[in-house]
Amino acid sequence: MRSVVLIVLLVGFCPAAGAAPTLRDLCRSAPLIVLASPTDPVTPLRFRPTALLRGSLPATAQLVPTNLDADKVRSFKPLGPAGGKPQPHHIESALLFLERDGEGWKVLTEGLRFCTDQGITLQWSDRVKGMTPAAEVRWPVLISQVRADLLALDRLEAARRLPRPERRVEALLAWIASHRDDFRAVSTGSDVAPTGWGRLQFDIFDWIFASATPSQAWQAVNLFAELNNAELPRNVGPAFTSRAGRDLLFQIVSDSKRLQGERLRALQLLSRSDVLSGATEPITKEEQIQGLDRLTTLLEVGSEEFRVQVVRALVTLSQVEGLADPRAVPALMRHYKDSRKELLRGELALALAQLASAAQWKAVSGNPPGVVAVLRDVERADSRLTFWVDARLGGASLHEAPQLVLERLGTLGFVSETRRVVPVALNLPGGWSAGWKADVPLLLQADLGKLEPGVQYRVHLVGVIGNDRLAWKSEVARFNVPAQPNSDPTNRRSGFIRSR
């Protein structure tokens, strides 16, 4: 077998602390790539370069990595059944990933691969501090994969260097499209069958958003969502912090012919304060009023999920720094009074507690100014009810445990029985004496006692807050207790309700 060493160094990605870098990580983070052969096949500490794949070296240079020693690079064949003295592997080829170390070079963490005269691939393991066999890794395939990845990275770098922003963004989007399957990967794969590009999968979107037009940025948002389980990018750059960018988002939100997923993504962006008050072109009063009017009309249409996101966007748009505007409050109050959908009603309550005046909020909810509580993810297991509380307390803290009001509903929806229990707080380390500021959701659990099968129940919290011990109550949640299997063989599942 031909004697070869591959030394790879590129500037870029550094894997998370504690995580072993993949071959692709190493291809990004090493500045030099060299094919070379070891001068000593048993103890390969020195290497003769035979070809450069990236970087440069003097033609007569001999590579002597500064952080290699005999114990690290020497490896032995497995003992046979008869035992005997271990025989060393003879290294014919090597793959090293190096970085500068003063005037010399050192091997990156996990950046060492060898091929023996018997065709066995060995790789450095930082865990065992030595060379170990790489199962089912063929050396020619490994080298071919490295070349392919380096070519892909070179093409990406060429795209980044295009001088015209629009052409640069187009090229970066095209690069992602050509590696779409890698971006969808949930694991890093192996050296010869890698998947994913690590941190690069997020960095490239940052590069795109840095100079994209609004339409290009919107294309990138949808592409990111497609590749990342409908998530939004962490940073969408300046494209949407301009009036043109926000106008595009409002057009998408108002376009009933578009897919709901797209409209929801546009609403989520309009719910972000960085979009509405970004440094590129902060929103004007005129633009705010037009936006509030457009969003308010959308409270009438779409799914519950869509309308919930409309409410969130209205809250953000109503509270732009220096431009607070309560014009959406009447519409929010009307929908709050009429809504029978618990998820939407809860979001409307949270919005009104922030936007409505103290008198308006008191009139519609009965609660003190700014105080609201919504029950989330309500689940029942036998007689035990567990749920989260999402609340706003108007700047105060809750120092007394609330009561859970359990109402049994009759066939016509009337309350036929009422009970009260005190739930246990599962994530309040200091207890109620230390108080709860509603800065994080509160997890409560209550034992409801005996529940009647085939019946719907309704629950809400009641309590007091502040030195004046002002009464408050939460929004309502419902759950069903299924009938016994012998009385209703079609209904055998545990009753529960999930709300966001």
Delineate the domains of the chain, giving CATH numbers in brackets.
5-79+87-151 (no CATH), 160-369 (1.25.10), 372-481 (2.60.40.10)
Q: Residue 252 carries which DSSP code?
A: H
Cβ distance 365 to 352 under 8 Å?
Answer: yes
Q: How many CA atoms lie within 13 A of 276 on its CB side?
A: 28
pLDDT, tens digit (0-9, with 9 covering 90-100), for 33-84: 888 899 999 999 999 988 888 888 887 788 999 999 998 899 988 876 766 7
pLDDT band for position 16 (cuts 50, 70, 90): very low
Q: How many CA atoms lie within 13 A of 168 on its CB side?
A: 18
pLDDT of 193 reads 87
488 pLDDT more than 80: no
pLDDT band for position 354 (cuts 50, 70, 90): very high
Most confident of 58-72, 78-92, 118-132, 308-322: 308-322
Q: Residue 466 carries which DSSP code?
A: T
pLDDT, tens digit (0-9, with 9 covering 90-100), for 219-246: 999 999 999 999 999 889 899 999 999 9
pLDDT of 140 reads 94
CA 228 – CA 384 distance, rounded (Å): 36
CA 316 – CA 326 distance, rounded (Å): 11
Query: What mean pLDDT do residues 483-495 have?
Result: 56
Cβ distance 310 to 300 under 8 Å?
Answer: no
Q: Using a pLDDT cut of 70, give the percent of the chain over it.
A: 92
CB atoms within 10 A of CB 373: 26
Q: What is the largest CA-CA distance in the chain?
A: 93
CA 368 – CA 466 distance, rounded (Å): 10
CA 332 – CA 311 distance, rounded (Å): 8
Angle between helices 260-270 and 214-227 in degrees, nearest 10: 110
CA 102 – CA 155 distance, rounded (Å): 30
pLDDT of 477 reads 96
pLDDT band for position 486 (cuts 50, 70, 90): low
Query: What mean pLDDT do residues 321-334 have?
Result: 94
Closest CA to 153 of 256, 45, 25, 252: 25
Average pLDDT, the chain: 89
Secondary structure of residue 195 in the 3-state scheme? coil
100 pLDDT more than 90: yes
Closest CA to 197 of 376, 50, 462, 15: 15
Range with lowest mean pLDDT among 7-16, 102-111, 407-416, 476-485: 7-16
pLDDT of 487 reads 52
454 backbone φψ class: left, alpha, beta (φ>0; ψ -120 to 50): left
Secondary structure of residue 238 in the 3-state scheme? coil
Query: What mean pLDDT do residues 379-395 have?
Result: 95
H or E segment and range at residue 217: helix 214-227
CA 371 – CA 352 distance, rounded (Å): 10
Query: What mean pLDDT do residues 450-478 have?
Result: 95
pLDDT of 321 reads 86
4 pLDDT more than 60: no
pLDDT of 470 reads 95
Burial 261-286 (b: 16+ CB within 10 A, else e): ebbbbbbbbbbbeebbbbeeebbeee
pLDDT of 2 reads 41
pLDDT of 82 reads 67
pLDDT of 66 reads 93
pLDDT band for position 314 (cuts 50, 70, 90): very high
Closest CA to 76 of 49, 116, 125: 116
449 backbone φψ class: left, alpha, beta (φ>0; ψ -120 to 50): left
Closest CA to 205 of 244, 186, 231, 243: 231
